[in-house]
Amino acid sequence: MAESIFNNKITLSSKNEVLNMKVDIIKHETFIEVRLIEFNNIFNLYVCTISQPDYYIYKREQEITVDYERFISELVKLFHSLSLNRYNGLFIDNTLKFIEYGDFRNICKLELKFNKPDEHQYKMYISDIIRRLESDNVKLYKETKLLREKCIDGDRSLNDKIRHLELENNEYRKRIETLSNEISNIEYKYSSEKQEFSNMTNRHYELETENKRLKEELEEFNKDNPVSLKSRLSNKDLEIDRYKGEIKSNSNLIDQLRTENRELKAYKRNKEGFDEDSEAAKTLKEKYEELFNKNKQIEEKYKDIKTTLKEKKSKIESLQSKNKELSKQLANAQNVYNHFYNKNVGDTDYKGDDVDFPEFNLQSENPPSI
């Protein structure tokens, strides 16, 4: 049974042209047949028949070292190398030479003698062509039928996909309309928010300006805040304490003078019989006059101190009233600042509480009676 063991396109060099040929190696039971078919005219071909006896002639003439079966496989490899352009094929005078080009010399691997086919070989070639065409026709028919069935299934599947895509298209169109409406709403909202942001920016600038003004006012206010008032009031307290000490000292002196005055009166009653011109009477009189004058001076000084204390008490009450007013102003400024900026003014000693000032009892004792 004939079997094609190699079938491929090769390029051969001739004397004046390049030949595009198709090689077909057919293995029969007792020989192999190599056909070189012109690619552009399949009815123009060359045939080389190699039987086992023919091979021994090739082996002896070309010094081939392999057996017949190995030769067939090597022949297939040579034609395969020609198809890959690893070797060059030279076809001259119906002889095909497999040439391996080298740097030193070219080596002819094998020579095959081809002839025009005889009538029997030509009929066999034509029958092979018809058989292959029939086989190809059957194969093409089956493939066409299979492709037609696939095409029908494909059309059915395509129609299903088209319907599905139309449904999806309608759904997407609805979604696009919805998204377009949402985009329009978002654009309108964005425009409104942009305008609002612009207004807020202007308002922020105004608040920054107001904040700067309030800070300047606060700095001016802090220059005379309750801390400095407390410091000044503390100095006033020290001054008042000093005056109270003087009052207490003068009160002690007045008590001492009262005691001496009583002693003097008692002494006067006991000594009424003494001579006024005596030395003791003169001394007591001088002492009495001296104490009287001193007591008078103390009374005048006491009146002055009492007047001064009244003035200082009035000044303290005025400072208390001013401190309450300043406390209210500072609290209002801090509330305004916290309302706009939600933060504290800063750490200060002042907490917004009223300052308690000491109250003094300025009622003096009765002046001594002489």
Tens of pLDDT, residue by residue over 216-234, are 877 776 665 555 556 665 7
Same domain, 150 and 106: no
Lowest mean pLDDT among 58-62, 141-145, 211-215, 246-250: 246-250
Q: Which amino acid is at 257?
A: L
Task: Categorize the per-residue pLDDT at 157 as very low, low, confident or very high, splitting at 50, 70 and 90.
Answer: confident
% residues pLDDT > 70 (the chain)? 79
| 88 or 216: which leads in pLDDT | 88
Cβ atoms of residues 240 and 312 within 8 Å = yes
Domain annotation covers residue 111: yes
- pLDDT above 90: residue 237: no
Domain annotation covers residue 165: yes
Which residues have a Cβ under 8 Å from the Cβ of 329 and sit 6 or more positions away? 221
CB atoms within 10 A of CB 291: 17
Lowest mean pLDDT among 64-73, 147-156, 332-341: 332-341
Q: What is the DSSP letter of 48?
A: E
Cβ atoms of residues 75 and 58 within 8 Å = no
Domain annotation covers residue 324: yes
Cβ atoms of residues 76 and 23 within 8 Å = no
Domain annotation covers residue 368: no
Domain extent for 283: 230-341
- pLDDT above 50: residue 364: no
Same domain, 99 and 146: no
- pLDDT above 90: residue 333: no
Choose one of 172, 203, 223: the last residue of a domain.
223
Domain annotation covers residue 370: no
- What whole-number distance in Å separates Cα of residue 261 and Cα of residue 269? 12
- pLDDT above 50: residue 297: yes
Domain annotation covers residue 353: no
CATH number, domain containing residue 45: 2.170.210.20
Beta strands in the chain (DSSP E): 3-13, 18-27, 31-38, 45-51, 88-92, 95-100, 107-113
pLDDT of amino acid 287: 73
pLDDT of amino acid 32: 94
pLDDT of amino acid 57: 92
Task: Categorize the per-residue pLDDT at 275 as very low, low, confident or very high, splitting at 50, 70 and 90.
Answer: low
- pLDDT above 90: residue 49: yes
Same domain, 93 and 150: no
| Interhelix angle 52-62/68-83, nearest 10 degrees | 70
Domain annotation covers residue 137: yes
- Domain count of the fold of the chain: 3
Task: Pick from 30-44, 262-276, 294-308, 349-363 the range whose average pLDDT is largest.
Answer: 30-44
Cβ atoms of residues 98 and 80 within 8 Å = no
Choose one of 223, 241, 267: the last residue of a domain.
223
Lowest mean pLDDT among 99-103, 241-245, 292-296: 241-245
| 92 or 257: which leads in pLDDT | 92
Write the pLDDT tens digit of every residue in 21-44: 999 999 998 999 999 999 888 889
User: What's the whole-number average pLDDT of the chain?
Assistant: 80
Same domain, 79 and 171: no
Same domain, 313 and 336: yes
The burial class, CB within 10 Å (0-12 / 13-18 / 19+), for 198 is exposed
Choose one of 156, 188, 223: the last residue of a domain.
223
Residue 70 CA: distances (Å) to CA of 25, 48, 64, 66, 77: 15, 18, 11, 6, 11
Task: Categorize the per-residue pLDDT at 358 as very low, low, confident or very high, splitting at 50, 70 and 90.
Answer: very low
| 268 or 159: which leads in pLDDT | 159
Same domain, 211 and 244: no
Same domain, 330 and 243: yes
| 163 or 277: which leads in pLDDT | 163
Same domain, 90 and 7: yes
Same domain, 214 and 283: no
Cα 3 from chain centroid?
73
Half-sphere exposure of 329 (CA within 13 A, CB side): 15
| 361 or 259: which leads in pLDDT | 259
| 224 or 93: which leads in pLDDT | 93
pLDDT of amino acid 341: 61
SS3 323: helix
Same domain, 190 and 153: yes
Domain annotation covers residue 318: yes
Same domain, 8 and 113: yes
| 322 or 146: which leads in pLDDT | 146
At residue 271, what are phi and psi to the nearest 5 degrees?
A: -115, 30
